């Protein structure tokens, strides 16, 4: 049991039900001990859990059930924020995040992802420079100490992939090798179903490999990501995978294959009906290849 989460949930319920801390813990535990529970050490003894539940007028098992519901709710909300970022829907992001804060999150992994998406949004909207975003991400996941860990959480793994793209070029390969080892042995990532997370990291790895002009390996990871997307039936980041595959084929002088992936990138970016996403990829492709995308798509359908 994650006792810190439970302690924070008691604290939230205490506040919502109008108890002061003093009245809430009176004759149950000292204020200094209660504050230690909020830090996660030591674990809350079972009799104390029951007594605090009774003080709230609730059954202990009910509180545990509600804690699970609350954690699942906050997880869904932070995933929605991530999806808004991926789809460049900043208006929806701002509307949802307006009701959130660090204090909303009971679970550390959800709080970590929440802090990450805030940095990511500011970076994408150029409210943060690359160097400032890198500084914040380093603090967020304790880089470079994180490289020494044998296992990473799925969120740490994803953030490390983003951080790597912002590092100076001479530092990137150290992180890239660590990430590649994890991709070869996914058990080093603590997660349940993590296919989408792996795809998101693959996108970062492909970008890094392109910067280092290792186009064949980048193309291999493009194909790996595309296979994962098809196997789980998702378009999540598929537009990026097709786009990067087109760049790889272009750099390798394989123009027919490049054109096929340009077409697929435009189709994938149009699937969910988000005009901002399609506009982004149209601009990227037209700038990269100096083509008119409307004419290109017209010729493709001939």
> Which has more pLDDT, 242 or 277?
242
Is residue 225, in this structure, part of any structural domain at all? yes
Distance CA 302, CA 296 (A): 10
Structural domain includes residue 141: no
Position 263 in a domain: yes
The pTM for the full model equals 0.71
Task: Give the pLDDT of residue 1.
Answer: 46
Q: Is residue 298 part of a domain?
A: yes
Mean pLDDT across the stretch 260-275?
A: 91
pLDDT given at position 187: 63
Domain boundary among 41, 58, 75: 58
The whole-number average pLDDT for the span 145-151 is 89
What is the rounded CA–CA span in Å between residue 225 and residue 177? 18
- Token readout for 96 is 């949802």
The enclosing domain of 45 has a CATH number of: 1.10.260
133, 170, 209, 235, 254 from 218: Cα distances, Å = 25, 18, 6, 19, 14
pLDDT in tens, 28-54: 999 999 999 888 888 888 899 999 999
The partner residues of 153 in beta bridges, in order of sequence, read: 190
Yes or no: say if 213 and 251 are a contact pair by the CB < 8 Å rule.
yes
Long-range contacts of 275-281 (CB under 8 A, 24+ apart): 276/87, 276/88, 276/89, 277/87, 277/88, 277/239, 280/88, 281/239, 281/243
Q: Provide the β-strand partners of residue 152.
A: 189
Residues in the chain: 302
Give me the pLDDT at residue 238, please: 92
254 in a domain, yes or no?
yes
In a domain, 134, yes or no: no
Can you give the C-alpha Rg of the chain in angstroms?
Answer: 23
- Is residue 257 a contact partner of residue 264, using CB atoms and an 8 Å limit? no
Binned at pLDDT 50, 70 and 90, residue 71 comes out as: confident
Domain interval for residue 274: 193-302
Q: Among 154, 162, 211, which residue's Cα sits nearest to residue 183?
A: 154
Partners of 190 in beta bridges: 153
- Whether 251 is in a domain gets the answer yes
Q: Which of 58, 82, 101 is the last residue of a domain?
A: 58
Residue 210 lies in a domain: yes
Q: Residue 217: which CATH number? A: 1.25.40.10
Residue-wise pLDDT for 52-61, tens only, equals 999 999 998 8
Give the chain's domain count: 2
Q: Exposed, middle or buried by CB within 10 Å (0-12, 13-18, 19+), for 217?
A: middle
Domain boundary among 16, 32, 58: 58
CA angle 147, 152, 153 (to 5 degrees): 145
Residues 249-276, buried b or exposed e (16+ Cβ, 10 A)? bbeeebeebbbbbbbbbbbbbeeeeeee
């Amino acid at each position: 049991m994650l006792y810190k989460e439970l302690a924070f949930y008691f604290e939230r319920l205490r506040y919502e039900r109008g108890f002061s801390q003093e009245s809430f813990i009176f004759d149950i535990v000292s204020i200094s001990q209660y504050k230690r529970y909020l830090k996660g050490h030591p674990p809350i003894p079972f009799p104390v859990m029951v007594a605090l539940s009774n003080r709230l007028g609730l059954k202990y098992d009910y509180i545990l059930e509600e804690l699970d519901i609350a954690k699942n709710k906050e997880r869904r909300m932070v995933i929605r924020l991530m999806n808004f970022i991926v789809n460049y829907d900043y208006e929806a992001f701002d509307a949802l995040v307006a009701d959130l804060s660090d204090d909303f999150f009971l679970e550390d992994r959800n709080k970590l992802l929440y802090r990450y998406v805030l940095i990511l949004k500011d970076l994408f909207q150029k409210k943060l420079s690359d160097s400032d975003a890198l500084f914040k991400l380093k603090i967020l996941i304790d880089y470079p100490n994180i490289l020494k860990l044998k296992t990473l959480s799925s969120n740490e793994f994803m953030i490390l992939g983003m951080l790597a793209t912002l590092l100076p070029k001479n530092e990137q390969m150290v992180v890239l090798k660590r990430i590649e080892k994890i991709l070869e042995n996914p058990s080093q990532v603590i997660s349940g179903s993590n296919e989408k997370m792996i795809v998101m990291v693959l996108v970062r790895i492909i970008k890094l490999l392109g910067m280092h002009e290792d186009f064949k390996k980048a193309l291999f990871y493009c194909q790996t990501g595309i296979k994962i997307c098809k196997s789980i039936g998702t378009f999540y980041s598929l537009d990026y995978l097709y786009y990067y595959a087109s760049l790889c084929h272009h750099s390798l002088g394989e123009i027919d294959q490049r054109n096929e992936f340009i077409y697929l990138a435009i189709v994938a970016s149009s699937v969910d009906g988000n005009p901002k996403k399609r506009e982004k990829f149209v601009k990227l492709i037209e700038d990269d290849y100096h083509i008119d995308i409307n004419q290109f798509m017209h010729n493709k359908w001939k």
